[in-house]
Structure 1
Amino acid sequence: MKYKYKTAQDGRQRPTVRLLAAAIGTIMLAGCFDGDSDSSGDNNTVDKGPLLPSNGQYQADIRRTTNGVPHIRANDLASAAFGHGYVQAQDNVCLLAEAVVKARSERAKYFGPGPDNINIINDFSFKAQKILSGAEAEYPTLSDESKAMVEGFTAGYNKYVSETDPSDLPAECRDQPWVKEIAPTDLLAHYRIVGQYASGALFSTGAVFLAIPGEDPAAAQPTPVMAAKSDMALPDVSASARTLASSRDNYQETGLASNAWGVGGDLTEQGRGALLANPHFPYTGHRRLYQVQMTVPDYLHINGAGLLGTALPLINFNDRLAWSHTVSTSRRFTMYELTLKPGDNLTYIKDGEEKPITSETFQIEVNTGGPNPVTVERTFYFSEYGPMLSANAVTSGGLPKWGEAGTAYTYRDANENTSGLLDTWLGMSRANNLNEFQDVFRNCGTTLWVNSTYADADGNAFYIDSSSAPHLSEEALGVIEFKRGLSPEYNQLFDGGLTLLDGSTSRDDWVEGECAGLTPYEKKPKLVRSDWVQNSNSSYWSTNPAAFLTGYSPLYGAEEAEINPRTRLGIKMLQNPADPGFPDAPAPAGQDGKFSAQELISVIWNNRAWYAEAFLPELRERCTMIGATPVNGVDLTPWCGPLQTWDGLYDLDSVGAHIFRVFIGNYRNQFDTDLTVAFDPANPVYTPAGPSAAGKGTANDAMLQALATGVQALEAQGIAPDAQLGEVQYYRPSGDVPPGGTPVFQSQPIPWHGGDGSVDGAFNAIGVVTDNVAEDTIFPRIAPSTIANTAGLSDGSGGVDGWLIARGTSWHFGLEFTDNGPQAYGLVSYAQSTDRMSEFFTDQAERYSNKDFRKLYLDESEIEANVISRMEVSGTR
């Protein structure tokens, strides 16, 4: 098995790409730096082990323990994946089926054009991005291990679908024609979409669709294939694509977040390693995490959770090591400005030579309400780097349209190919020590768009940005930095997440090397410690302030830059493990300052928030000073009272948390002008700080004005000053209908603790989602209409009050290695199943609400002692 790929701040106003001046194209400078284009990577292989059933029959023993967690035991890897595919379908068949419809570019076929024609735009964009055709092309190149897992998982899914009466499926997909058996290449196509969440998927809502010479809206319109259908009136898809493509302000923001700590033996009760895993992912859609324990004797023994559809869990532990992931600040794609041949929009000049822009015509089917879908087609264009791109749409007119300034734009995606996805995580899962874990990345393994934070039984703590970052030469990187200093427009583009390179010179090509254009292991940010490493979505630079990481490619993120409030609070707790800080919460590691597994899960649930600890004492003082004097017409007296007694935590019974939230939601917009202590790279945790004393305690006080504005939002919704957080913040799933239906709530509100990671600065980060479909899907959900600067407080319309939580802390646990093996405690906060009729639909949500963690079983005797059901599944390979 080879891991090598075979082919190619919170509270601050962020720069956007929407205001970028068209003049940016004039500074695509020729190189003037000496470069470094070296790369390296080993091609080590490992013993293949038992991959396929010797008798041609998949066979898996499935035992479910507490809260429906499946424990799968099989004699070969394919059969273990077979069992995994079967149980995932049992619990989440509708989501898996819709994911395949999406990957096959068949949403418009089954569900029509969709709101703003998004189904047509997505279907064509995924065709152009080679989601399915690329999977079909790369499938023969997969390692034997990956083939075993993909084939096994597919067969398990198909077994469940084939043996289940369509009328017995959950309401979201009951009797639907799109729930059917799939091919292994369909599953691999889904992986390609997963891999491009933070790259190509950002362009699938219109930027690729609009990329035609001249960007003429009429030419972008799909046309019917058959003349007999020429009278079919398609909606204005081009206009929709431009609106959708222009709606994104920042290409660094993915909407995903996480906390992870690797604690070394110096800071654990047992003197071995420990891990805090706390992904903040959506509670709906394809990015839900699903827990499974898998055993193939003498080959694989893991417990963890992965995104729906992945044949192997992704955030795992085995007997010797454990890891978690956090979304990286690295860049997973680069844009190229092509210099066109004069008078020819389909030829560009590179290194003085003419290069063709090629084209390909794709067809999709669209349900227009008739008895059969109508086939329409469109032509798309490609450079050597990948699909062409409407940079004009991406930057809302900042960059020129194709051909307007003698230029055109395209991009290269670091995660276009995901053939190594399962190999990477299998290698991590089978590693027995730090060196073997690191070997996965030495051999070009990649975790797509996330960092890895690790701990092991030997007491090591390890961090690596293991994402797919493009490998550029030192010369090319030097030119980027030169342009950023020279041009505010170019720097604005870069800060907005768009790395614009010069397509007229091979200087800006990726360095291929052993890792096919990805940055090799020796150039990735990484750190080994015996005390701790951490990441909460700030850059690698602040992994541990005792050993700042510097000198890496700017494509990995910023150095000596402000860190987000979750990172600040996490580092504070790690630096002061025996100190409860403010307020008088339990010390993170207890009185001895040494972490245990239960203390680590409790760190997540202690519900501390950075901004409360930083600003609550000052706000209380100013509340006392203002007394009954109105601020912007608001009497703050009844609202300041709860703040004076609030415990500073975001627990269910906390009184005052909701008031502070709407205060900080407004005050954070004034950090740049009101804070008096500037950010200091030597002290990143405690700076910036210091509210201004101007007008302190008067009606002109910036803090009190922010409080008054927030209070007005609470008063408008009839929320009382003495409301407990659990009365106004809750989880409540909705759906129960197929695409196009009217969703309903599926449970009573479940009180939800935690705070918004960006607005409140809460470590246990949760949040409101305003999309009216489940994440990455077209399944309808009930979504709030929210009030600005309140962290998502509903305006009371649509039957939604308070804060309706739909993302954040999901699969999370605390783990410690002991002399008796790993001991871990945690939950999947929203539960295993999306089927409302399942007993595993909200059971863990109730446990999360009550802070009732469960043990995570890896030991065979513990598994067997806690079995609540068992079955054997089999099928012919």
Structure 2
Amino acid sequence: MKRSLTLAALVIAVIAGGGVWYVQSKLPTRQGQVALDGLQGPVAVRYDERGVPHIRAANQTDMYRALGYVQAQDRLFQMEIMRRLARGELAEVLGPKLIDTDKLFRSLRIRERAASYVAELDYQSPSWQALQAYLDGINQYQASHARPVEFDVLGITPRPFTAEDTISVAGYMAYSFAAAFRTEPLLTYVRDQLGSNYLKVFDLDWQPRGVLSPALSSNDWKNLGSLARLSDQALNQAGLPQFEGSNAWVVSGKRTQSGKPLLAGDPHIRFSAPAVWYEAQLSAPDFELYGYHQALVPFAFLGNNRDFGWSLTMFQNDDLDLIAEKTNPDHPNQVWYHGQWVDMSSSEQQIAVKGQAPVTLTLRRSPHGPIINDVLGSAAGSTPIAMWWGFLETRDPILEGFYQLNRADTLNKARTAATYIHAPGLNLVWANAKGDIGWWAAAQLPKRPAGVNPAFILDGSTSQADKVGFYPFSANPQEENPARGYIVSANFQPVSPAGIEIPGYYNLADRGQQLNRQLSEPGVKWNLKNSQALQLGTRTDYGQRVLKPLLPVLREVVSDPAERQLVEQLAQWQGDYPLDSTAATLFNQLLFSLADAAMSDELGDVYFDTLLSTRV
């Protein structure tokens, strides 16, 4: 018995020891020395109490190589999943449930755009050299260390990360900004199936022309709803963050306690673990940056150098059009384009699927762009829906733009960097050490034919979907050193200095109006404390604005004493959202109940769920 117990104890000890060794082998290195090929000199990495790396190198190439290495220590699985999502390769490691998601992302043609994008780059440019050093740091870490636990569990075989992966992740970010996939099928369905009066619910301009030509069948509508739902689920089910809104403002020195500009940035990105941002300080003799990076991107999207600080919000301009093609009854692979029948091109791809045979995906393209409802297979309906997307159609040197912004030391250099951001559209809110403040709505804005409203699916048999070029950057909304002494960016519809209309899926103005009221208060000197309080504020006029016409009706129709108490609770509510507010919860439930009663029966489950995920 004693021998048996001793043997059992040894087995337990071996298993426990093996478990400790296994876990320890997966942990990042925070102390000691590491040999890294390609370094031209020593690099020091210090981690602070929050685990943020502070990297100091003798040159910028070494600095970026070290950044790639330390970010891979912390985020290798995040990098792997994000590139697989963007490139349509999740089913290979997560199984057949992700086939539809892979089909969707492959239909977006991010893979092909990444390949052509990289082929067009200047391989001698400093930004390319920085990207290559960063990717080399990631790959050196991956090649020399045990696979992350997630790789072991899912059976992922490591493969090198490439520049095409970086551009693919940029494409994923651009897609996550694009509300058109969810919104345009919904609004077109409302207009053409329910009638124009229903559009008044959304407070939108609408085309009085009525239905599409060619008309969409009931099966087309059903499957456009499925496409809208798939678009939303693809990001949610992957467990990756979606980019939703953001607030930022900047106050000039004449309105601050310190006499220097004060910049506040509050990116609203859905919770994820790990976080979307990777915080790091980068230092070299000719460079200093404290910034926030995304997976596989070496250049900070938020941050500050010695001369400039900047934050981002979503521009929310509409840079994606959905287009209903008219097909030739005698040749279904032909569409009517500019007065003649034109063949659509097609190609095949194989999607690897864990535990089963690969799936073949046929991708078609019309003159307007990729056909995106083919992802639904035999259920796609009879009308091909093409996609025109700024990410595919513009040169979009966004990485070059942020490379230059990271090291901008003059206003002209920073402004030039902003012009390189084409898609997705981003509001750059900034301040510099000289006391300037400003905001640029950075995007390449397409010129659409007069009278065309891209909030609806466009008719590909006409000139509706044509693009006649792009507006110059000078037509983009922007401000530099306004007399009021502050700038607010909160996703509301901006105004172009050229007077052009900029279609988009903008948020309601209530949050921006609240910020504007508080920042404009005379006599207030802004500092970190009151700016933080402003950033954490939860009150807007939205709730009271919505309730004002409803409360008299509710008081008239509600008779139950307990329910009347709830009505009065709403009447006393100030429109804020503290954690313990039952009135805020009650208001949100009221909003849902009103939307459900007004629209659920008319829209059906699929389109109603889509409505809840849009900004209209």
The TM-score, its normalising length taken from structure 1, stands at 0.52
Q: Which residue of 2 aligns with 1:472?
A: 447
Task: Return closer, same or farther for 1:73/1:255 CA change in 2, 3 Å cut-off.
Answer: closer
Instruction: Specify the alignment match of 2:198 in structure 1.
Output: none
Q: Any conservation in 1 of the 2:178–2:319 contact (CA below 8 Å)?
A: yes
* Structure 1 counterpart of 2:156: 178
Rounded to whole Å, the distance in 1 between the matches of 2:107 and 2:592 is 40
Local SS of the residue matching 1:382: strand
Deviation at residue 86 of structure 1 after TM alignment: 2.0
Rounded Cα–Cα distance in structure 1 between residues aligned with 2:549 and 2:104: 51
Please give the per-residue CA displacement for 1:98-120, whole angstroms capped at 9, x wherever unaligned. 22332343221222111xxxx11
Answering whether residue 490 of structure 2 is matched by residue 536 of structure 1, we say yes
Residues 383, 102 of structure 1: CA spacing in aligned structure 2 closer, same or farther, 3 A cutoff?
same
Q: Whole-Å Cα distance in 2 between the matches of residues 309 and 97 of structure 1?
A: 9
**Could you tell me which residue of structure 2 aligns to residue 358 of structure 1?**
345
Compute the displacement of 1:593 (Å). 0.9
Q: Specify whether residues 340 and 620 from structure 1 end up closer, same or farther in structure 2 by C-alpha distance, changes over 3 A only.
A: closer
Deviation at 1:387, TM superposition (A): 0.8
- Once residues 363 and 391 of structure 1 are traced to their aligned partners in structure 2, the CA distance between those partners, rounded to angstroms, is 15
Structure 1, gaps ≥5 residues long: 1-52, 208-213, 217-238, 485-493, 513-517, 542-547, 579-591, 673-785, 792-877
Deviations 1:565-618 (CA, angstroms, capped at 9, x unpaired) = 211211111122x6xxxxxxxxxxxxx412123432232134444457879999
Q: Counterpart in 1 of 2:404? A: 427
Shift, 1:302, TM fit: 1.6
Contact 2:570 2:587 in 1 (8 A): no
Q: Which residue of 2 aligns with 1:660?
A: 583
Displacement, 1:347? 2.2
Q: Which residue of 2 aligns with 1:449?
A: 425
Aligned to 1:148: 129
Is the alpha carbon distance of 1:563 and 1:154 closer, same or farther for their aligned partners in structure 2, counting shifts above 3 Å? same
Tell me the SS of whatever aligns to 2:77. Answer: helix
**CA contact 2:325–2:461 (8 Å) conserved in 1:** yes
Aligned match of 2:526: 595
- Partner AA of 1:197 in structure 2: S
Question: 1:126 maps to what in 2?
Answer: 105
How far is 1:333 from its partner? 1.2
Deviation at 1:453, TM superposition (A): 1.5
- Asked whether 1:282 is paired with 2:270, we answer yes
Q: Deviation of residue 256 (structure 1)?
A: 0.3
Greater RCO between the two (CA within 8 Å, min separation 6)?
Answer: 1
2:359 aligns to what?
A: 376
- Aligned equivalents of 2:119, 2:58: Cα separation in 1: 24
Specify the SS of the correspondent of 1:61.
strand
CA distance in 1, matches of 2:180, 2:567: 44
Query: Could you tell me which residue of structure 1 aligns to residue 254 of structure 2?
Result: 266
Q: Is the counterpart of residue 569 in structure 1 residue 514 in structure 2?
A: yes
Q: Give the aligned partner of residue 708 of structure 1.
A: none
- Contact 2:326 / 2:335 at 8 angstroms: preserved in 1? yes
Measure the CA separation in 1 of the matches of 2:89 and 2:230: 24
Structure showing the higher helix proportion among its residues: 2
Change (3 A) 1:663 1:55: closer
Q: State the match for 1:349 in structure 2.
A: 336
Looking at structure 1, the residues matched to 244 and 423 of structure 2 have their Cα atoms a distance apart, in angstroms, of: 15
Equivalent residue for 2:140?
159
Q: Distance in 1 between matches of 2:121 and 2:180?
A: 23
What is the match of residue 414 of structure 2?
437
| Equivalent position amino acid for 1:593 in 2 | V
Change (3 A) 1:288 1:431: same
In structure 2, what is the equivalent of residue 72 of structure 1?
Answer: 55
What is the DSSP-based 3-state SS (H/G/I as helix, E as strand, rest coil) of the residue aligned with 2:391?
A: coil
2:591 is aligned with 1:634:
no
Q: Contact 1:358 / 1:381 at 8 angstroms: preserved in 2?
A: yes
State how far apart, in whole Å, the 1-side matches of 2:65 and 2:293 are.
Answer: 15
8 Å contact from structure 1 (residues 60, 82) kept in 2: no
Measured against aligned partners, the alpha-carbon deviations of 1:278-322 in whole angstroms (never above 9, x if no partner) come to 111122168722211222322x32212133332111011122222
| Structure 1 pair 62–617 and aligned structure 2 pair: CA distance change class (3 A) | farther
Question: Aligned ranges for residues 19-168 of structure 1 at < 5 Å?
Answer: 60-114=43-97, 119-143=98-122, 144-166=125-147
2:453 matches 1:511 = no
CA contact (8 A) 1:424 1:446 kept: no
CA contact (8 A) 1:245 1:393 kept: no
Q: Secondary structure at the match of 1:322?
A: strand
- The structure 1 residue matched to 2:472, chosen from 520, 532, 536, is 520
1:161–1:179 CA contact under 8 A, matched in 2: no
Distance in 2 (CA, whole Å) between partners of 1:348 and 1:615 is 46
Partner of 1:330: helix, strand, or coil?
A: coil
Match of 1:410, SS state, is strand
CA deviation after TM superposition for structure 1 residue 121, in Å? 1.8
Deviation at 1:401, TM superposition (A): 4.1
Q: Could you tell me how far apart the structure 2 residues matched to 1:550 and 1:662 are?
A: 42
- Deviations along 1:162-218, whole A, 9 cap, x unmatched? 33323xx35x44454326242313333222222322349948xx99xxxxxx999xx
**Stretches of 4+ aligned residues off by more than 6 angstroms:** 53-56, 239-242, 247-250, 391-394, 612-623, 638-644, 669-672
- How many equivalent residue pairs? 516
- For the 8 Å contact 2:108–2:372, the answer to whether it is kept is no
Superposition deviation, residue 510 in structure 1: 2.4
Q: Using the alignment, how far apart are the partners of 1:108 and 1:557 within structure 2?
A: 31
Question: What are the superposed Cα offsets for residues 343-366 of structure 1, whole Å, 9 maximum, x if unpaired?
Answer: 222223333344221110111112
Mean CA deviation greater in 454-463 or 635-644:
635-644
SS of the residue 1:436 aligns to:
helix
Q: Counterpart of 1:836? A: none
The answer to whether the 8 A contact 2:39-2:62 is kept is no
Question: Aligned with 2:342: secondary structure?
Answer: strand
**Aligned-pair CA distance for 1:661:** 0.8
Aligned-partner Cα distance in 1 for 2:93–2:231: 27
So what's the TM-score if we normalise by structure 2?
A: 0.71
**How far does residue 419 in structure 1 lie from its aligned partner after superposition?**
6.0
Identical amino acids, percent of aligned pairs = 19
Secondary structure of 1:151's match?
helix
Deviations 1:755-810 (A, max 9, x none): xxxxxxxxxxxxxxxxxxxxxxxxxxxxxxx9x99x9xxxxxxxxxxxxxxxxxxx
Q: 1:272: Cα distance to partner? A: 3.0
Say if 1:662 and 1:392 are closer, same or farther in 2 by CA, change over 3 A.
same
What displacement does 1:125 show? Answer: 3.2
Deviation at 1:423, TM superposition (A): 0.7
**What is the CA–CA distance in structure 2 between the aligned matches of 1:508 and 1:343, rounded to whole Å?**
24
Distance, in Å, in 1 between the alignment partners of 2:456 and 2:223 is 22
Q: Which amino acid aligns with 1:472?
A: K
Tell me which residue corresponds to 1:798: none
Contact 1:451 1:466 in 2 (8 A): yes
Deviation, 1:393, is: 8.2
CA–CA distance in 2 between the matches of 1:427 and 1:191?
A: 17
Counterpart Cα distance in 2 of 1:202 and 1:554 = 18
Using the alignment, how far apart are the partners of 2:71 and 2:133 within structure 1?
Answer: 13
Residue deviations 1:505-536, cap 9 Å, x none?
A: 4x853234xxxxx4420221112214111111
Aligned with 1:257: secondary structure? Answer: coil
Residues in 2 aligned to 1:145 and 1:319: alpha-carbon distance in whole angstroms: 20
Shifted more, 67-76 versus 309-318: the winner is 67-76
CA distance in 2, matches of 1:522, 1:98: 38
